[in-house]
Each structure stands twice: as structure tokens, then as C-alpha cells.
Chains A and B, each alone.
Chain A
Amino acid sequence: MKLQVKFSLYNAITKITIIVVLGAIILFSINRLAYNQLDSRILKKKSKIIESLNNKEIDSLLNNEESFTDYNILKEEFIILTDIPDNQPDSTLSINTERREIEGDIEFYRILNYKFKYHTNWYNLEIGETMTALESIKNSIRFYMLVVLVVALFFTLIADFTFSTFLLRPFYQIIDKKLNKVDDPSHFDYENIPTNTDDFRLLDNSINLLMRKINTLFALEKQFIANVSHELLTPISILSTRFENMLNTPEIPADHENKIYASLKTLNRLKLIINSLLLISKVENNQYLKTEEINLNQELSDIYEDLEDRILDKNIHYETRLDGDFHFKGNQALIHTLLVNIVNNAIKYNVENGSIEVNGQYSHNDYVLTISDSGTGMSKALVDNAFDRFKRGNTEENGFGLGLAIVQSIARFHEIEISIKSELNEGTHVSLSFKSR
């Protein structure tokens, strides 16, 4: 869940809680307040009635009947005075809420019951006040609170969301620009993303700092590779020139000559291994440019020319079928190396009178080049680690098993997807999928 959403939800929940708690308190207090008000009013009325009471009045009120009842037109209040038996223990006063039916209408009333002794007679005085008004006030307060709650919630959710979007924008910019879009540390843009949030500034600066460290390490590694290559290749140069000079000395015995030549060959092998490893590490360190326009057809025909004698030597049927004229941006020398390695493998591991087919076609957004041979093929285990360094298909052949490792690093560098399908004694299919645009 996004931080923004979490923030908004958290805000919403806390607001709901606050409003609910506050609402409950308010409703409760209103209730208490209203009862108090009502009670004090009833008590005042009672005092007034008692004060103005005298014999005559009671008589006229009761009019010789058992009780006296009076209420106003809207039945908001009533008074009942009843003559009760004289043997009451004490004068009592109580207030409670009851349902009363007055002329067919049932309503809630707050009722005061007061038993008192006047001269020698005991009377019960009941004063009732309707609670309908109070209930309706309570209801409308409840209703408005609910409305306010929902509306407030809605608006605060929107406001929170908008604000956090605004607040978090620099964060996503940092993630996008400084982390997602960085494919090569050397192209990193150190400019800070404008923000006045200190935390994001901290993040931004920390990423910059990290990138500086990484860049320093990368530079060191490149420097190291350059140094190693220099340190290894220089002694090889000394030895190979020395051996060459020895070979051109006229009077050396034949078997020495052969040994010298064998040493030269060994040195050459050493040179090729070092150069292959250097090539892989340079490709992996992005030390090549990918700015040349490469024509795949042209490359393949150049490669055919380079390897023609090998193809003819094994009498291999070689066929190229390319749909369209596929161009892409890359490093021409590297692509040449990549394709030469694949085609050369197809020749090297082929049989006499075998065949090689090179097919190219558009598939969705890609251009797929397939190089199929009718060669010896590879076992599943071999296919699985075909790209590992120093793994070799056939130990009798020349080579050091670096060819496919080179192929893979160049392919990765150019974002070319590469897959190998192979069947023992049936042949091998290598397909390269180039992103077209």
C-alpha cells in the first residue's frame, strides 16, 4: 500500500474516532443539561403552586372530587392534584420519566411526584412536562453530526490525498530520476531535486553520496583493468618479439626452432585469453559506445566473407534469409565479434556436408535472428552452462570456452535477448532478439 494512501487512511480513522468520541460526549451532556433544565423548571412550578395553595383553593381545585387535572391545549404540561389517604409516613419528592396517555395521545413526560400534608390532609401533586421537544432536538443534533462527520471525512480524505501527493512528489522524482533511470553510474546526474522537505533532501544527498562512492569504485576498477592488461601484455610483447627474433636467426637447430614456435603459439593463446577477459570486463563496465548505426545484413555478409573458407572446407550449405533491412544502434566491432562467435561455433561444431541457416524476421516489437546448424549439438547440461566462462563443448577443439561468455556480455550490453536450443546430434539453434526501436 502506498505511503500516501496509508497516511490518508490513518488521518481518516483518527478523525472518525475523534468525531465519534466528541459526538458521544456532546450528546450525553445535552441530555444531562436538558434534564437539569426541565427538572429545575418543574421544581420552580411546584414551589409556586405550593406557595399559592390555601384551603379554599384546594377545595375549589378538587371541587369535592378525588382529584384535579389540568393541562394546556398542546398537552405540553399538566398538573394533577390528588387526595390520598392520610396515613403517609413522610412527605416525598421524586422526578422520573414516564409514558402518559392524555386524551388518546401517548407521549413521554418528565413527571414530578410530590406527596405533601396540607393541614391534616395528604395530597399528591404531579407536574408533567413533555419531552417531545427535547427528543426532537436530540435527534436533529444526532443527524447533523452524522452529516458533518461524513462530509468532513470526505473532504479531509481528498485534501489529505492531494496534499500528500504534493508533498511526496519530490520523493517519487528522486526514486525515478536517481534510481530507476540510472543505467550507468557514470551518467548519473548529481543535481538535487528541488524540495523543502528536509527528509527528502537527506535522501537525495545520501543517494548522491552513494553514487559518488560507486563511481569512485568503478573508476578504480577500470583503472585496475587497464593496469592489469598493461602489466600482463607488456611481458608477453617482450617474449613474443624475442622469440620472433630468435626464429629469424639462421643457424638455430630445427627442433629448437619448433620449440620456439610452439612457445610463440602458447604466448598467442595467453594473449587471446587476456584479451577475451579484458573484452568481457570492458563490456561489463560499459566502456564502449553504442552510437553506431549497424546494418544487420551488412554485418552478416561481412562475416560470411571472413569465414567463407571454413564453410567451404567443411562443405557446409550456408543460407541466409532476412526479412527486411534491420538497422539498430550499437557498437559495430562488438556486434561483429558477437555474430562471428556464434557463426564460427555453428561451423566449428558442424559436420561435413552439414548446413547452417540464418533467418531473420520481425516478431511483435522485436527482430529475431536465428542461427541454426546441423551440427553435433549439445547436451542439456551443456546448454545450461553454455555461457559460463571456460566451459567448452568439445575438448578436442581449439578455444578456451570464452566465446559464449563474450557473446553473452555483448548481448546484455546491447539489450539483445539470447537463447540456445540444442539437441544432441541434431543441431543447435541460437536466437537473438533485437529490440526494434
Chain B
Amino acid sequence: MNVLIVEDEKSLALEMDEFLSKEGFIVEHAWKKSSAEEKIFVNNYDFILLDLGLPDGDGFDVLKQLKRLENRDDAVIILTARSAVDDRIKGLDEGADDYLPKPFSLNELLARMHAIIRRKHKLDKNEISIHNFLLNIQNRTVSFADERLNLTKKEFEIFNYLVLNKNRVVSRMSLTEHVWGDILEVNSDSNFVDVHVKNLRKKLAQASSIDWFETVRSIGYRINC
């Protein structure tokens, strides 16, 4: 899958590049509005990660230009530090697939990209399989050997997020923010996520051995596969 990162802040773009390349994405860069528009005109991308504040113009213009082209199915995720309240609504109205305010966690970005892939490509079954556990994204259920596990909503969210970010460390902070959202101040302590993870592991362990579900020291968790 190929990704176009439209971001004028080079060090940020390169960090995203490093992360996404490891995930197997082919990454291209555009530092300016003009070069982004050229690249979009020439190539098809699976993902366009679009910053709004570009040195030579507004990221929304790039989005509008893309929407004028026919037969394009590029998914657009707006990444911005701009604080205007209605940017999010405007972005989604203009046809962006998602909106992620800066600073964001790379885990969160990856999870959102996976969610878009599933939505766009209408995968035959809305299911992800991991070590014989089956996650049904639509019904938000997990089953093992056709038997449904009784997970709470939050436990499912945590499991799903870890699975989407498999083979990488997901910090408690990133996990908390994903599950509870960006509630100001509330998510500043991360003990609560541990309680949920503990319960989740207990429920999973009842079905099968889960030595692949790793606690990474004081930082967070990782699902290996």
C-alpha cells in the first residue's frame, strides 16, 4: 500500500515515514501544496496523510483538487495542529475519511488506517484472526473456537487496538487515550487501563494460552504474532 505524506515539517514526516515503512507501507512525501497536487494528479494513493497548514497554501485545497479528479478512491486523513473548531467538520464534509489532531500517537494513526482499509475495501468478513481468536469488528465481539467470549466494551476496544498494532509496543498512555478519548485531565493517570487489561487477559487465558500477550515493563503492552 502506498501512502503520500503531505507535511511541511520534515522531521515529523520522516518519523511517520519510519513507522509506516516498518509496517510495510510505501511512503512518498510532498512538502508543499503545489508538489502534493502534482503527485496526486499523477499517482493513485491508498492513503493521503494531509497537513492543513502548508507553506504555500491550505491543505483543504489539496483535498478539493483530489475530489475533482474522477475514479479516485484515495483515503484522506487530515493531520493538523490547527485549532479552528470547525476544521474537523469542514474536513469531513469535504470528503476526508478521518481527522486526527496533532500531536497524535503513531499507534492511533495506524489503528485509524486499518479501520479505513476495512471500510474501504469492504473485507468479505469484518473479522480479524489472531492466534485463533476471532475479532468481529462489526459486532464488536471476540470468539474462540466458535465460542463467544464475554468481553466488556472497553475490553474489546483494548484488544482490538492492540491487535491492530500487533508486534509493537502500545503504551498505556496511547491505550488510555484511545479507549477514553481525549477527555481533558481525566486520562492523566493510567492505572485504570491496567485493571481492564488484567480482566481482558484473564478472560482470554480461560480460552487458550496467551503467552503472546506481553506486558512491556512499565511502558505498556504488546501482542506478538
Beta-carbon contact of A398 and B11 below 8 Å = no
Residue in contact with A247 in the complex, picked from B16, B169, B196, CB distance below 8 Å: B169
Nearest residue, chain B, Cβ from A270? B103
A261 to B85, CA, bound (A): 31
A306 and B171: CB pair below 8 A?
no
A313 touches which one: B19, B188, B195 (CB < 8 A)? B195
Contact of A287 with B by CB under 8 A: yes
Are A241 and B12 closer than 8 Å at their CB atoms? yes
Measured CB to CB, the nearest residue on chain B to A276 is B184
Say how far A168's CB is from chain B's closest CB, in angstroms.
42
Contact with B along A252-296 (1 / 0, CB 8 A): 001001100100110111011001101100100001110000000
A241 touches B19 (CB 8 A): yes
Is B184 touching A244 in the complex (CB atoms < 8 A)? no
Interface-facing stretch out of A60-68, A224-232, A321-329: A224-232
Whether B217 and A257, one on each chain, are in contact in the complex, defined by CB atoms closer than 8 angstroms, is yes
Q: With the chains together, A335 CA to B45 CA distance in Å?
A: 39
**In the assembly, what is the distance between CA of A307 and CA of B169, in Å?**
26
- Total number of residue pairs linking A and B with CB closer than 8 Å: 123
Task: Report the nearest B residue to A305, measured CB to CB.
Answer: B153
B83 and chain A: residue at smallest CB distance:
A229
Query: Which of B55-63, B65-73, B104-112, B123-131 lines the interface with chain A?
Result: B104-112
CA distance A244 to B169 in the complex (A): 9
Chain B residue numbers with a CB within 8 Å of A267 are 103
A77 CA to B53 CA, complexed, in Å: 114
| A296-315, CB < 8 A from B | 306-307, 309-310, 313
Q: Are B15 and A242 in contact (CB under 8 A)?
A: yes
Please determine whether A287 and B85 come into contact, CB atoms closer than 8 angstroms.
yes
Q: Across the interface, do A226 and B84 meet the contact criterion of CB distance under 8 Å?
A: yes
- Whether A194 sits at the interface, judged by CB under 8 Å, is no
The docked-state distance in angstroms from the alpha carbon of A391 to that of B189 is 19
Taking a contact as CB atoms under 8 Å apart, the answer to whether B217 and A399 are in contact is no
B:176-195 near A, CB below 8 Å: 180, 182-186, 188-189, 192, 195
Option from B12, B107, B154 in Cβ contact (under 8 Å) with A238: B12
Binds B, one of A78-86, A352-360, A400-408: A400-408
Q: Is B205 an interface residue (CB 8 A)?
A: no
**Cα separation A233 to B79 with both chains bound (whole Å):** 12
In the complex, the answer to whether B103 meets A233 with C-beta atoms within 8 Å is yes
Q: Which of A41-49, A337-345, A425-433 contacts B (4 or more CB under 8 A)?
A: A337-345
The chain B residue with its CB closest to the CB of A406 is B184
Q: Chain B residues with Cβ under 8 A from A288's Cβ?
A: 85
Whether B218 pairs with A261 at a CB distance below 8 angstroms is yes
The reply to whether the CB of A180 lies closer than 8 angstroms to some CB of chain B is: no
Q: For residue B185, which residues in chain A have a CB less than 8 angstroms away from its CB?
A: 272, 276, 341, 344, 398-400, 402-403
Chain A residue at minimal CB-CB distance from B15: A241
Question: Is B38 at the interface (CB under 8 A from chain A)?
Answer: no
A236 x B103 contact (CB < 8 A)? yes
Q: How far is the CA of A230 from the CA of B16 in the complex (A)?
A: 18
- Report if A245-B15 is in contact (Cβ < 8 Å); known contacts: A230-B53, A238-B9, A272-B188: yes
1/0 contact string of B62-97 vs chain A (CB within 8 Å): 000000000000000000011111000000000000
| Residues from chain B with Cβ under 8 Å of A257 in the complex | 217, 219
Residues in A neighbouring B22, C-beta threshold 8 A: 248
Q: Does A17 sit at the interface, judged by CB under 8 A? A: no
**Residue from A254, A261, A271, A306 within 8 A of B103 (CB atoms):** A271
For B81, what are the chain A residues with a Cβ–Cβ distance below 8 Å? Answer: 229-230, 232-234, 237
Asked if B202 is at the interface of the complex by the 8 Å CB criterion, the answer is no
Q: Top 9 closest A-B pairs, CB basis?
A: A237-B103, A233-B81, A241-B15, A229-B83, A398-B188, A237-B102, A236-B103, A230-B81, A238-B12
Please name 18 further chain A to chain B contacts, defined as beta carbons within 8 Å, in addition to the given A232-B81, A309-B154, sorted by A numbering: A230-B83, A233-B103, A237-B9, A237-B103, A237-B104, A238-B12, A240-B105, A242-B11, A247-B219, A258-B219, A265-B173, A271-B103, A306-B183, A306-B186, A309-B195, A310-B192, A313-B195, A341-B186
19 residue pairs bridging A and B, Cβ less than 8 Å apart: A225-B83, A232-B81, A234-B102, A237-B102, A244-B105, A248-B168, A258-B219, A264-B173, A275-B182, A276-B185, A282-B83, A306-B183, A310-B192, A313-B195, A337-B184, A340-B183, A398-B185, A398-B189, A400-B185
